[in-house]
Amino acid sequence: MPYILASPCILYPNLRAEGITSAEDIVIFSRCIERCRQAGIEIVQLPCPETLFFGEVRPPGCFKDRMDFPEFFSLVDRLEERVRKTIADRGEAPLFILGVNSSPTCGVTKTYYTEEKSDGPGVFLKRFQDYPMIDVKEFAKYHVYFASPLFSDAERSFNRKAADVLESLHYSVHLPQELDDDAENRGEDREAAIYAGNLAALKSADIVVAVIDGADADSGTAWEMGYAAASDKRIIALRTDFRRFSANECVNLMLEMESEVVHSLDELREVLSYY
């Protein structure tokens, strides 16, 4: 089974310093755990240097003020050896390490090394920069709404192929064509149900991937992209069509300005892959 190494407070938030865990943090941690569960990824808990050094009940503080001592570095040395032995015993590397930004020990891209937050990993995760790392807030964003034309066999086949790429990266994908829509069954009630189902999925999505192939983008896709932009969601526009609207536009300025434009499924995989 594939596995990740995760900061222990993701599984046990009580291990964090007093007063720093918000209700939003709990939701984020839960979403990360659920994503791994759905994807069949085992979560292997990292040791917590701060808990082992100070105990479970402790006030928050930066590294320089509270941990910059030889005894703490000696503990981190021993914990690094323990983690590397775990990896060796498993016979394969973790997919990535899941950390928690701001943590003096387990931050990924931001950490309180001093009283001012700085760039870079925490002092414990810094020991494992030979593995990919991702912060919990990024990994928790895994619900994808796939916006695209879906009216021909070719379109549906391509959409499914793209969804397979996303699902291989452990994203949960809403693919509107799977609502079993066709012209013959489209009564008023059916249309309302399709609209409501897609709108609910769009509202709850973290990321919108939108296909903008063709001489002009599909009108439904353009509407979904506009809704996503107004909702401040991340939008990735997939344009495999080699034609260009102008020297600076692939298809439409208004669609592209709010999007990250990629030109193949390989590029889509690259911008959404953590490892």
The pLDDT value given to residue 214: 85
Position 256 confidence tier, pLDDT thresholds 50, 70, 90: confident
Domain 143-272 part of CATH 3.40.50.450: yes
Mean pLDDT of 239-257: 80
pLDDT of 183 > 60? The answer is no
Residue ranges of the domains in the chain? 3-139, 143-272
CB atoms inside a 10 Å sphere around CB 270: 10
Q: Please report the DSSP string for the chain in residue order.
A: --EEEE-HHHH-GGGSPTT---HHHHHHHHHHHHHHHHHT-EEEEPP-HHHHHH-SS-----HHHHT-SHHHHHHHHHHHHHHHHHHHHHTS--S-EEE-TB-TTT-SSEE-SSSS-EES--TTGGGGTTS-EEEHHHHT--EEEEE---SSHHHHHHHHHHHHHHHHTT-EEE-GGGG---GGG--HHHHHHHHHHHHHHHHH-SEEEEE--SSS--HHHHHHHHHHHHTT-EEEEE------SSSS-SS-HHHHTTSEEE-SHHHHHHHH---
Contact present, 1 and 94 (Cβ < 8 Å): no
The pLDDT value given to residue 231: 97
The pLDDT value given to residue 191: 82
pLDDT of 222 > 70? The answer is yes
The pLDDT value given to residue 180: 66
The pLDDT value given to residue 184: 58
The per-residue pLDDT of the chain, averaged, comes to 92
pLDDT tens sequence across 81-133:
999 999 999 999 999 999 999 999 999 999 999 989 999 999 999 999 999 99
pLDDT tens sequence across 186-213:
666 778 888 999 999 999 999 999 999 9
Position 179 confidence tier, pLDDT thresholds 50, 70, 90: confident
pTM for this prediction:
0.87
